Amino acid sequence: MFEEAALEIEIAAHGPVRTRVRASGSWTFEGLKTRRNDLARRLAELEREPPERIAWDLTGIAQLDDSGAVWLARALRSAQRVEASPRLRILLNQAGEALQLPGAKRRPPDPLSIPVQIGEMALEFGRHLRDAAIRLGLIAIRAAELLRRPRDFPFRELSAGVFRSGVTALPVTMLVGFLVGIVLTYLSALQLKRYGADLLVINIVGVGVVRELGPMLASIIAAGRSGSAITAQLGVMRVTEEIEALSVMGISINARLVLPKVISLAIALPLVTFCTDLAALGGALLVSKITLGISPGAFLEALPRAVEVVNFWIGIGKSAVFGFAVAFVACHFGLRVLPNTESLASGVTRSVVAAITTVIVLDAAFAILLRNVG
Amino acid sequence: MSDSGDAQVIEIEGLLNTVGAGHVLHRDLALKVRRDEVLALVGGSGSGKSQLLRVMLGLKQPQAGTVRVFGVSWSDPKWKRVRDARRRMGMLFQNGALYSALSVYENVAFPLRERGGLPEDEIRAIVHSKLAQVELDPSRGALLPANLSGGMVKRVALARALALSPELLILDEPTAGLDPDRTTRFVQLIKRLREEQRFAVVMVTHDLHPLYELTDRVAVLAEQHIIACDTIPAVRRMGHPFIQNFFGPERRRAADAG
């Protein structure tokens, strides 16, 4: 098929041209493969001699491709005595010119790059806040308009959204709630047993689940499930120009896409939270019976006394706000996706992280605002 | 509509449009599209045809200048006026931009349902008539866009763009990605629909075939503005190198052969 690339070097004792080089065989990627190191070493040796003192005979080359041409051109440099066919010369000249082109210069590291990056991140964060505030305002305006003409409200999207982010989320959210209820009760029971305060487990787990853990678990799972789905959906709609097609038709993106999503999650999440509360308390009931010997009847009887009902309403109210926030953050990031795959991937990731962070920040705000309640 | 008697459907004046970090794409660009005419927008790659189209459609806010479609500026604070202007135009995106979650029927019905005020049986009649107009069998209505060929996507998208009987139709590369036979048929389709419905057309195209078949005037975008906007013979008489190249004899022959 092909001969290996070969290089013969003759060194004359005297005369203006001391070195005669004869190259033959296949100077191709394949042909250079087997004796690669040997050829590279010998060509490098030739490069040490002044180019005008070497005579090249390249007529024996059967095949030459770009990698062979680059090797030869690097060794040839400005050699004048070159015997080669015209076709070979063209390839060698191209390779020689390409070798002269400067490579991409690596920029020296900027000593201020870290503060610059922090500053840029702060500016980016500010832009996000500004855009989110604008979108929130637009949603409020569209919602007010739809209140006057409720028939225009996209009810089908709303009910589909409640089903998708509510009903289908129940199995996983309730399972997680059940397990967290078990773990929390078990750990509390171990400690409380030592002080003989067994019955306090109902207070601790009851308030913890109903007021904090239920809403948090439900919204974190909603951020991962529904939030990522919303961002990906809007992002793909951007990539396929469906968002543009809606805008061009004079359809408000905020009214048609964002509003039903935020409202449906704000409706669905309290319902999911309620079921998560039930599952977690079920887990607590089970472990209380096993580790502390509190009968289910006694547990259920003590629960309303231990946990004021206002805690439940705080939990439900918080999850409505969290649901709105998760869907809003997801829409915000989804609509910022640029029409390329990289932007879609990073948009979804950032959306989930930002949604969870927002939920935790809001939760802290609620904790401070409602510290004297319940 | 008070402005329905106006001679222009699109008016662009003094447009300054930049992309990225201040790279000027259009400077002092002016363009007027008359009612009932077919205007083709041509220009080299990177001359900003698509960006100009986005500005025309109000998808991008220019840095300066006025853009009016049916006499309405896209930045008009009264969004109902903007919406009403939008309902008088149809847009055919290069890749169709059909709603991928909706069937063919629902895609065409979408603008009708969004406008509201029509009972479902009238919507069905309109959708079926629009599908027939673009030579699609209404029995295909249940298919999803993912199951359609490229040519069918274009025709469904055209049916959707025509759903509200627009006075202005904007086409982005209407024949890109179609084979020569389908190109001819698509061009004939637009020609026939235009004769029936008398809408103005603005199209961006590289293809000489629709250009010679359809257009009344050609706007040539080069050097950041419209260097010529006239009938094809008048534009061809201009000595600008892009025009000479674009309408050159070789391309003309290729178009005739196609």
3-state secondary structure A75-118: HHCCCCCEECCHHHHHHHHHHHHHHHCCCCCCCCCCCCHHHHHH
Overall number of domains in chain B: 1
Domain-located, residue B66: no
Q: Does A102 touch chain B (CB under 8 A)?
A: no
| Identity of the residue in A240, A249, A251 whose CB atom sits nearest the CB atom of B100 | A240
The reported pLDDT for the residue numbered A1 is 53
**How many Cα atoms occupy the beta-carbon half-sphere of B17 within 13 Å?**
28
Q: Does A144 touch chain B (CB under 8 A)?
A: no
Rounded distance between C-alpha atoms, residue A60 and residue B253, angstroms: 46
Domain-located, residue B38: no
Chain B interface with A: residues with Cβ < 8 Å: 57-59, 79, 82-87, 89, 91, 93, 95, 97-100, 110-111, 114, 116
Domain that includes residue B129, residue range: 98-165
Domain-located, residue A374: no
Sequence-distant (≥ 6) Cβ neighbours of residue B143 within 8 angstroms: B103, B104
Residues A50 and A198 occupy one common structural domain: no
Test mutation, A241, A243, A254, chain B, max B CBs within 10 A? A241
Minimal CA separation from A173 to chain B, in Å:
27
Give B-chain residues touching A250 at CB under 8 angstroms: 82-87
Task: Provide mean pLDDT across the span A93-113.
Answer: 83
Q: Does A241 touch chain B (CB under 8 A)?
A: yes
CA distances in angstroms from A350 to A243, A336, B3, B152, listed in the order given: 20, 11, 46, 37
- Given an 8 Å threshold on Cβ–Cβ distance, is B97 in contact with A251? no
How far, in whole angstroms, is CA B48 from its chain's centroid? 15
**What stretches of B174-240 show up as alpha helix (H) in DSSP?**
180-197, 208-214, 232-236
**What stretches of chain A show up as alpha helix (H) in DSSP?**
36-47, 66-76, 86-100, 113-148, 155-165, 170-195, 200-207, 214-222, 228-239, 242-248, 253, 259-287, 296-306, 309-335, 341-369
Task: Provide mean pLDDT across the span A118-137.
Answer: 94
Residues A78 and A156 occupy one common structural domain: no
The reported pLDDT for the residue numbered B256 is 57
Domain-located, residue B24: no
Domain-located, residue A26: yes
Pairing type for strands B64-69 and B72-73 reads: antiparallel
> How much of chain A, in percent, has pLDDT values that exceed 90?
55
Test mutation, B54, B55, B56, B59, chain A, max A CBs within 10 A? B59
**pLDDT-derived band at A159, boundaries 50, 70, 90:** very high
| Identity of the residue in A244, A247, A249 whose CB atom sits nearest the CB atom of B114 | A249
Residues A47 and A161 occupy one common structural domain: no
Is residue B154 within 8 A of residue B172, CB to CB? The reply is no
Q: What is the dihedral of CA B131, B133, B134, B138, to 10 degrees?
A: 30
Which long-range CB contacts under 8 A does A134-143 form with residues at least 24 apart?
A: A135/A254, A135/A258, A135/A328, A135/A331, A135/A332, A135/A335, A136/A328, A138/A254, A139/A254, A139/A258, A139/A259, A139/A262, A139/A328, A142/A252, A142/A254, A142/A255, A142/A259, A143/A259
Give B-chain residues touching A150 at CB under 8 angstroms: none
Tokens 């260097």 belong to B227
Test mutation, A120, A233, A239, A249, chain B, max B CBs within 10 A? A249
> How much of chain A, in percent, has pLDDT values that exceed 70?
99
Rg over CA atoms, chain B: 18
Segment B70-113, tens digit of pLDDT: 999 988 888 888 889 999 999 999 888 999 989 999 999 999 98
Domain-located, residue B133: yes
Minimal CA separation from A260 to chain B, in Å:
15
Domain-located, residue A223: yes
**pLDDT-derived band at A37, boundaries 50, 70, 90:** confident
Domain-located, residue A351: yes
Minimal CA separation from A246 to chain B, in Å:
9
Domain-located, residue A111: no
Residues A128 and A40 occupy one common structural domain: no
| Identity of the residue in B97, B110, B111 whose CB atom sits nearest the CB atom of A241 | B97
Minimal CA separation from B111 to chain A, in Å:
7
Q: What is the pTM of this model?
A: 0.81
- Given an 8 Å threshold on Cβ–Cβ distance, is A244 in contact with B57? yes
- Given an 8 Å threshold on Cβ–Cβ distance, is A247 in contact with B59? yes
Sequence-distant (≥ 6) Cβ neighbours of residue B171 within 8 angstroms: B92, B190, B201, B202, B203, B204, B205
Sequence-distant (≥ 6) Cβ neighbours of residue B182 within 8 angstroms: B151, B175
Domain that includes residue A156, residue range: 118-133+141-369
Give φ, ψ of A106 to 5 degrees.
-80, 125
Residues A126 and A88 occupy one common structural domain: no
Domain-located, residue A329: yes
Highest mean pLDDT among A56-60, A320-324, B142-146: A320-324
Q: Does A152 touch chain B (CB under 8 A)?
A: yes
- DSSP calls for B110-131: HHHHHH----HHHHHHHHHHHH
- Given an 8 Å threshold on Cβ–Cβ distance, is A247 in contact with B114? no
**CATH number (domain holding residue A78):** 3.30.750
- Given an 8 Å threshold on Cβ–Cβ distance, is A248 in contact with B59? yes
Domain-located, residue B32: no
Residues A280 and A312 occupy one common structural domain: yes
Quick check: helix, strand or coil at residue A36? Answer: helix
* Residue A16 amino acid letter: P
Give A-chain residues touching B82 at CB under 8 angstroms: 250
The reported pLDDT for the residue numbered A198 is 83
Residues A150 and A72 occupy one common structural domain: no
Q: Which residue is closest to B113 within chain A, CA to CA?
A: A152
- Given an 8 Å threshold on Cβ–Cβ distance, is B116 in contact with A241? no
Sequence-distant (≥ 6) Cβ neighbours of residue B208 within 8 angstroms: B247, B251, B252, B254, B255
Overall number of domains in chain A: 2
Minimal CA separation from B83 to chain A, in Å:
5
Domain-located, residue A107: no
Domain-located, residue A105: no
| Identity of the residue in A236, A245, A250 whose CB atom sits nearest the CB atom of B93 | A245
Q: Which residue is closest to A256 within chain B, CA to CA?
A: B114
The reported pLDDT for the residue numbered B3 is 44
Residues A59 and A128 occupy one common structural domain: no
Given phi > 0 = left and psi -120 to 50 = alpha, else beta, which region is A345?
alpha
Given phi > 0 = left and psi -120 to 50 = alpha, else beta, which region is B210?
alpha
Count of A–B CB contacts within 8 Å?
46
Domain-located, residue B138: yes
Test mutation, B75, B91, B164, chain A, max A CBs within 10 A? B91
Q: In what order do the strands lie in the sheet containing B23-34?
A: B23-34, B8-19, B64-69, B72-73
Residues A188 and A93 occupy one common structural domain: no
- Given an 8 Å threshold on Cβ–Cβ distance, is B93 in contact with A241? yes
Q: Does A242 touch chain B (CB under 8 A)?
A: yes
Residues A277 and A338 occupy one common structural domain: yes
On the question of pLDDT at A150 being above 90, the answer is no
Residues A210 and A77 occupy one common structural domain: no
Q: Does the predicted interface ipTM exceed a cut of 0.95?
A: no
Is residue B164 within 8 A of residue B140, CB to CB? The reply is no
Test mutation, B56, B75, B100, B114, chain A, max A CBs within 10 A? B114
Mean pLDDT by 10 residues, chain B (258 residues): 63 89 87 90 86 90 90 87 90 91 93 88 93 88 91 92 92 87 88 90 88 89 88 86 79 56
Sign of the dihedral defined by the CA atoms of residues A167, A168, A169, A175, in that order: positive
| A58-94 burial: b if 16+ Cβ within 10 Å, else e | beebeebeebbbbbbbbbbeebeebebeeebeebbee
- DSSP calls for B145-167: GGGS-HHHHHHHHHHHHTTT--S
Structure-block tokens of residue A347: 């948009």
Domain-located, residue B134: yes
**pLDDT-derived band at A128, boundaries 50, 70, 90:** very high
* Residue A327 amino acid letter: A
Segment A169-203, tens digit of pLDDT: 999 999 999 999 999 999 999 988 888 888 889 99
Give B-chain residues touching A244 at CB under 8 angstroms: 57, 59, 93, 97
Rounded distance between C-alpha atoms, residue B238 and residue B40, angstroms: 17
Residues A73 and A123 occupy one common structural domain: no
Q: Does A110 touch chain B (CB under 8 A)?
A: no
- Given an 8 Å threshold on Cβ–Cβ distance, is B91 in contact with A245? yes
